[in-house]
Amino acid sequence: MNLTNSESKNADLSAEALGNEIKSAPNPVPRANDADTLAEEILEKLTYSVGKDPIVARRHDWLTATTLAVRDRIIDHWFATSQRGYKESLKRVYYLSLEFLIGRLLRDAISNLGLDKTLPVALSRYNINLDLIELLEPDAALGNGGLGRLAACFMESMASTGVPSYGYGIRYRHGLFRQEIADGSQVELPENWLAHGNPWEFERQEASYEIGFGGKVISIQEEGKGPRQVWRPAERLLAVAYDVPIVGWRAASVNTLRLWSAQALDPILLDAFNSGDHIGALREANKAEAITQVLYPADSHLAGQELRLRQEYFFSSASLQDILRRHLSQYPSLDNLSDKVSIQLNDTHPAVSVAELMRLLVDVHGMDWDKAWKITQETFSYTNHTLLPEALETWPVHIFERLLPRQMQIIYAINAAVISEAQGKGFDGGKIASLSLIDEGHGRRVRMGQLAFVGSHAINGVSALHTELMKETVFRALHELYPDRIQNKTNGVTPRRWLFQSNRGLTKLLEETIGPEFKDNIDKLKDFDRFATDPETRKRFAAVKLDNKKRLAKLISERMALNVNPEAIFDIQVKRIHEYKRQLLNVLEAVALYEQIRSHPEQNWTPRVKIFAGKAAPSYFKAKLIIHLINDVARVIDSDPAVRDLLKVVFIPNYNVSLAETIMPAADISEQISTAGLEASGTGNMKFALNGALTIGTLDGANVEMLEHLGDENIFIFGLNADDVARRRNDGHSGRGIIETTPLLKSAIDSIASGVFSPDEPQRYRDLITDLYDRDWWMICADFDAYWQTQRQLDALWLDKDAWYEKAIRNTARMGWFSSDRSIREYAHDIWNVKTLS
């Protein structure tokens, strides 16, 4: 059996193809949303689907029953969405992403279906508290950080704005590791989110595709035609689909997140089995299934292992086969593919799709090369997420060639055409070398960014600054060759999850001041601006914030047996731990502040709780060292009675989406202090400000646009800008001179270096200290003084609560533009050419 056969077999079996033939849609009677009906349905699920008598049912059983009852309602809308797509021949958007950091889904579904008032009442009939059982849902961490969370916000926004779309990714058996802190250090534990099954997913054994690796390419000469290339893979396995419905706001539409799981074609080798080698018989299965076992835990860093490239190709090929199958179930040929299909590549992880689509069109479907290339470019678009050299994806040609021999040939052919076009325009050797799909300088590597670029009609950055830097750095030569391809699409976050659900107090206050229209039109948040000077609203806003801080304080006390004072400033930095994000700058300020409080106890210090959370890639030594330092500093400060109640440092373990939902509404200060030019956008910055935290940050990523929307009196910008950083790095900047002339900084560094915070191992932080003196690559010393001064400005502002809450209210009021609905509308209009419902 070859790949072509399996596709046509699957086409016949596909649910959608069958659905398409049934012209009279099963038009479900809309279900009543009252508490009685819901209570009955939940009881029925508990009894007949979970198989439990309510008398013995545990809380987890109630969660499952509730999820299933809610799911039924989603399914009604799901079919309606899918049928509308077929009936109206709508163009579909496919969002290909190796990560979807979706978190919990129950509250999202309840809220978007409008059941948030009645469902808790229904459950209370059985003495069940929704707020408690929803915590039992595992937090699906199929992503690392911002990139994966963006994909999740985009899925929700595409459903809310009515963009017919599918997300495609991998159903990792183990998502991102669970983080514990032991003796101050990060410990990684496996995350088994599927242990109790996943009531949100539907396995689609009928939607499965063969995926090949290795082998050889043979050239077949056909009568009257040119040679045709046929790939004969040595290894073959199956990609099996699991569908998760994603419901939009007010159930505007329900889209599908289709996640692929790897399965052996021949799970048990019968020969081996029959000869008594039962373990050996499973070898094939184990090797195949390894592909979807784990998510690579490195964020903004190239993992580089062959298994990662296998994951990338596996999910790209399965998704493309599925897309072509669906298209051909509806249209007679692939000629109109780009009229009906847009494929967005979320970073370069799915970039091999460019070569794979060419292979499917040319080798499998017999299309001619030039036509296939035009369709490919019109179909794909690519989002770049980072300019960090260590994160730009490249693969050694020899690995690529061995694993994907035909795709490698195709990449060479594409490259030859691009280079000849550039030569035609008189590009010199240096420019050609930099736009080539092959990096000849480092042992020959395939550059996935260049591949994604040339195969796409639109390439976007994720904030205005990042997009400009893209044009000047990695894609400088390609931008010169194709000057109309790069555009900006500033990131956003969904206000449903990050305001309505996570901050019910503020949502209620908004409803009672500006009225409920903002829930359907987030631009209406602007109306809240005129309440910024209203004393009553300020008081209520402050009360909501205090309430949220108490909730976070309770979580900290329960998880860490540590008491923090909710009346103190909550100064929060939560995100992946990375040198460029500069948690080290923050902790240095904490140490300096600690020393100042100790040496000047008579001064009127503003009480502060500095809260950190975030995971480090397991192999990222310095990031893990920074976690250790934060925990060491936290312990020493906590045990020092001299600063009690004035300063606390807290590291909350296991940052994930659920924890973020509790943290964002509780922040007074949001730390967005990356080295300028290095954070592509940030989305944590948006969640915080939407919830009324004041940002202390650099002119980096979307902070730049936040400054424009908020006004410079409502955001606290400090430090070097991107040009300054580039210039200093060019001039061979180091920290030594700055340290010697900045006593606060010097003293903080000296304390750390002399083991004040690590008496058991005084040299523990030597590597971090040496970096600061010799290189200061991340401009921590360079920005320290400006950061310190700005923090003290915030201290002073805190004493004037009226002024503080005026700014906080203006932050919430002016953040509507940063909704991911706005991002999606821009993609839909400028890149995908699809209409939105709203």
To the nearest 10°, report the CA torsion of 467, 730, 577, 447: 60
How many other β-carbons are positioned within 10 Å of the β-carbon of residue 348? 26
**Which among 91-99, 314-322, 679-687, 768-776 is the span making contact with ligand PLP, rule CB under 6 A?**
679-687
Distance CA 814, CA 705 (A): 11
Residues 604-643 that bind ligand PLP (CB under 6 A): none
653 scored as a contact of ligand PLP (CB under 6 A): no
Residue type at position 693: A
Specify the residue, 160 or 683, whose C-beta has the smaller distance to ligand PLP: 683
* Residue 455: φ, ψ to 5°: -85, 5
Strands of the sheet containing 716-717, edge to edge, are 647-651, 608-613, 569-574, 669-672, 694-697, 716-717
Q: Residue 519 contacts by C-beta under 8 Å, 6 or more apart in sequence? A: 249, 500, 507, 511
Residues 491-550 that bind ligand PLP (CB under 6 A): none
Closest CA to 481 of 567, 423, 404: 423
- Taking the complex as a whole, the smallest distance from the CB of residue 698 to ligand PLP amounts, in Å, to 13
Going from the C-alpha of 480 to that of each of 241, 639, 654, 740, 796, the distances in angstroms are: 41, 59, 44, 44, 49
Q: Is 33 exposed, middle or buried (0-12, 13-18, 19+ CB in 10 A)?
A: middle
Element (H, E) at 497: none
Residue 819 DSSP code: B
- Taking the complex as a whole, the smallest distance from the CB of residue 460 to ligand PLP amounts, in Å, to 17
Specify the residue, 91 or 581, whose C-beta has the smaller distance to ligand PLP: 581
**Which among 31-39, 115-123, 145-153, 279-287 is the span making contact with ligand PLP, rule CB under 6 A?**
145-153
Give the SS3 label for residue 587: helix
- Taking the complex as a whole, the smallest distance from the CB of residue 468 to ligand PLP amounts, in Å, to 19
Specify the residue, 149 or 810, whose C-beta has the smaller distance to ligand PLP: 149
Count of residues that interact with ligand PLP, criterion CB under 6 A: 13
Residue type at position 57: A
Q: How far does CA 181 lie from the centroid of its chain? A: 24
Say if residues 672 and 685 touch (Cβ distance below 8 Å).
yes
- Catalytic: 91? no
- Catalytic: 87? no
Per-residue string for binding with ligand PLP, 654-673, x by CB under 6 A?
-xxx--x-------------
**Which among 209-217, 423-431, 653-661, 739-747 is the span making contact with ligand PLP, rule CB under 6 A?**
653-661
Distance CA 439, CA 150 (A): 30
Specify the residue, 64 or 674, whose C-beta has the smaller distance to ligand PLP: 674
**Which among 87-95, 144-152, 714-722, 743-751 is the span making contact with ligand PLP, rule CB under 6 A?**
144-152
- Taking the complex as a whole, the smallest distance from the CB of residue 155 to ligand PLP amounts, in Å, to 14
**Which among 203-211, 340-348, 681-689, 830-838 is the span making contact with ligand PLP, rule CB under 6 A?**
681-689
Residues 682-711 that bind ligand PLP (CB under 6 A): 682-684, 687
Specify the residue, 144 or 450, whose C-beta has the smaller distance to ligand PLP: 144
Q: Which of 70, 77, 146, 813 binds ligand PLP (CB under 6 A)?
A: 146
- Catalytic: 662? no
Query: Which of the following is catalytic: 326, 575, 578, 624?
Result: 575
- Taking the complex as a whole, the smallest distance from the CB of residue 542 to ligand PLP amounts, in Å, to 25
Distance CA 464, CA 486 (A): 11
Give the SS3 label for residue 184: coil
Q: Which of 71, 91, 104, 149 binds ligand PLP (CB under 6 A)?
A: 149
Distance CA 67, CA 31 (A): 16
Specify the residue, 68 or 102, whose C-beta has the smaller distance to ligand PLP: 102
Query: Which of the following is catalytic: 431, 687, 764, 810?
Result: 687
- Taking the complex as a whole, the smallest distance from the CB of residue 693 to ligand PLP amounts, in Å, to 12
Q: Residue 391 contacts by C-beta under 8 Å, 6 or more apart in sequence? A: 300, 301, 302
- Catalytic: 196? no
- Catalytic: 687? yes
**Residue 709, both tokens:** 């929307």
Q: Where are the alpha helices (DSSP H) in 404-440?
A: 405-424, 429-435
Buried b (16+ CB within 10 A) or exposed e, 609-631: bbbbbbbbbeebeebbbbbbbbb
Specify the residue, 405 or 684, whose C-beta has the smaller distance to ligand PLP: 684
Residues 441-480 that bind ligand PLP (CB under 6 A): none
Q: Residue 674 contacts by C-beta under 8 Å, 6 or more apart in sequence? A: 580, 581, 582, 682, 697, 698, 700, 701
**Which among 143-151, 218-226, 540-548, 620-628 is the span making contact with ligand PLP, rule CB under 6 A?**
143-151
Position with the least CB separation from ligand PLP: 684
To the nearest 10°, report the CA torsion of 345, 349, 352, 354: 10
Specify the residue, 388 or 413, whose C-beta has the smaller distance to ligand PLP: 388
- Catalytic: 575? yes
575 scored as a contact of ligand PLP (CB under 6 A): yes
Active-site residue set: 385, 575-576, 581, 683, 687
Residues found near ligand PLP in the complex (CB under 6 A): 145-146, 149, 575-576, 655-657, 660, 682-684, 687
